[in-house]
A and B are shown apart, each in its own frame.
Chain A
């Protein structure tokens, strides 16, 4: 199957027909933004100098090595997206970000934001941080270094960054919420069986 590659700047046409579970790759600009960056932008209204309109963000805190000529990306994998749930809808509205990449699912509020703004949430396989680092062509710059290495706003040029699995599509469908409903249903069945056999105390 041919690789589906999305290129920044991203317009609606590139992503509006994608469906949850689809696998895509990203080429172009990608910036890291996690807890502190979301708080600074959404709650305090402070914007980075880099324009996020049509861009993609990655929930991640990388290991970066300073070199004579700049920075080297050592290891960069996604962090738990759910931590950003409180701010992500506003973040997308305020910045025009088109793809939010992280790990694990996000909630109903973000799904609503994706639907209204035609944006996506995708997951990059958690923990696969060296593979991801090898897809970073260059660290173009960094802002908000006062947060420390994990929380800073690292601006990267990436090539075929992925696989990215669409977890919320532009219609607001939410893969993790669907899976979770299924897991909860199966949990009840699985529990019924285990509970029959763990009455270890004396009668």
Chain B
């Protein structure tokens, strides 16, 4: 078979898998949270969530109707043989997965404000590249950016004297004001950097890191744990209807920043955080490590 067709078929399947099944880490984190709830509404809601996940799996349908705008975060080995054709292949795979899975038509072109009908438009799907030297492998993180969970996202630049306290307040205010409507329990990505743009991008990268992992910097990991514990005390519960906990995780990613600025970005994923990770080798053998248990 033509290798580019093979690569496209792999990506079509990957997109479908990510829309139908939660990644293993999110599934297990929801299970653990469900087990801690003892109220009538909390039990009812988690019951609905797991019933829905089961039905999505059995019927092979997207587990949420909002299959989002597709966002691909690529780590490309410089020696991976299909780099020249990768972007085009991703676009074709997006169109095909939209028909086959099927995915909702979620891309509206700017200014005409017309739905393109195939999930492809200007810079959509969104593709972000990182180069991995001396490697012939390709790693892709796929995120389905739904509307509801994208709404709370924000970034701003704090005065450095506001410090990490300022970051914590900004996150807590955002989660209570906007996160409640974004299908909690949320996964919270926090980015820290020089400007609003880099902080926002890093907050998305933080969201791509599996629930239950921590930043390798012990102080950042400490802040992640303290923020999760603090947010849980608020007791937002499943779907914002109160409960024992609030969030699945707080993940932080950062870049060393300008001494005169402290940029902070927040990106959240809903209970149904749909992301996937795929490793494709130069012979086009592949693994989907995010979804080992899902199928």
Contacts and interface: CB of A to CB of B under 8 A. Distances in A.
Interface of A: 21, 23, 60-63, 65, 74-77, 79-82, 103-105, 123, 125-131, 133-134, 147-151, 163, 165, 175-176, 179-180, 182-184, 186-187, 189-191, 193-195, 197-201
Nearest to B235: A186
The 8 lowest CB-CB distance pairs between A and B, nearest first, are: A104-B181, A148-B115, A128-B52, A126-B183, A194-B230, A75-B65, A129-B65, A190-B233
Nearest to A129: B65
A201 to B, nearest CB: 6
B59 interface: yes
Contacts of B75: none
Contacts of B151: 80
A128 B49 contact: yes
A105 B180 contact: yes
A134 B55 contact: yes
Given A187-B176, A189-B233, A190-B234, A104 B271 contact: no
Interface stretch (B4-12, B101-109, B193-201): B101-109
A83 to B, nearest CB: 8
B49 A125 contact: yes
A193 B234 CA distance: 12
Contacts of A81: 181
Contacts of A63: 61-62, 65, 67, 102-104
A199 B219 CA distance: 10
Contacts, number: 180
B18 interface: no
A123 B48 CA distance: 13
30 contacts: A21-B41, A63-B62, A63-B104, A75-B61, A75-B63, A80-B147, A80-B181, A103-B148, A105-B180, A123-B241, A125-B239, A126-B271, A129-B64, A130-B52, A130-B56, A130-B63, A134-B59, A148-B117, A150-B105, A175-B241, A179-B240, A183-B235, A190-B230, A190-B233, A190-B234, A194-B168, A195-B169, A198-B167, A199-B164, A200-B164
